[in-house]
Amino acid sequence: MANYSLLLFRASIVLALLFISEADLISDVCSKAQKTFLCNQALRSDPCSRGANLPGLGKIAIDESRAAVQNTIKVAKLFDNRGNKGKSETCIETCGDAIDNLNDCQKLVKARDKFSLNTLQTKASAALTDVSTCDDEFGAGEPAKLKEASQTAQDLIDVVLVIANLLAGN
């Protein structure tokens, strides 16, 4: 009976440490993100974040970022009228480039070699630049709904970049 109690106690300690370690990893990542609340919300809302390691959190962040960029494209299409046609087309095109870069990130996030991790950082940074080009294209006349969608996408891509930097040891 004493051995069973000791075993149960040890198992409880291990589970508690595992839970604390998971929470600490998300907290560590999100403390480095520009939008801590959004980072926590995005990572913790995914059931796969429980027990996820850094590459696992990277996959979640990439998926969330890709969805946010797709939403930015959807919103940009709403403003594809005569006055904004060229601007919207540029926004849609550069957001498409961001999705391509995020797709590349998805393949690289599990890598362990320095070259792949450097490429992951470069692709995440490029995705961030791609989306911000949409804001630059519209300038001060950017519709509020598009600016909000673009900012959310950029904030989520920032989380991907944080994870890429952590994986690369930066």
What are the tens digits of pLDDT across the range 97-120?
999 999 999 999 999 899 999 999
What are the tens digits of pLDDT across the range 22-54?
458 999 999 999 999 999 999 999 999 999 999
pTM of the model: 0.85
Question: Domain-by-domain residue ranges, the chain?
Answer: 2-167
Q: What is the pLDDT, as a whole number, of residue 115?
A: 96
Question: What CATH topology corresponds to 2-167?
Answer: Butyryl-CoA Dehydrogenase, subunit A; domain 3 (1.20.140)
Averaged confidence pLDDT in the chain = 89
For every residue of the chain, DSSP letters joined together read -HHHHHHHHHHHHHHHHHHHHHHHHHHHHHHHSSSHHHHHHHHHHSGGGTT--HHHHHHHHHHHHHHHHHHHHHHHHHT-STTTHHHHHHHHHHHHHHHHHHHHHHHHTT--SHHHHHHHHHHHHHHHHHHHHHHHHHGGG--HHHHHHHHHHHHHHHHHHHHHHHHTT-
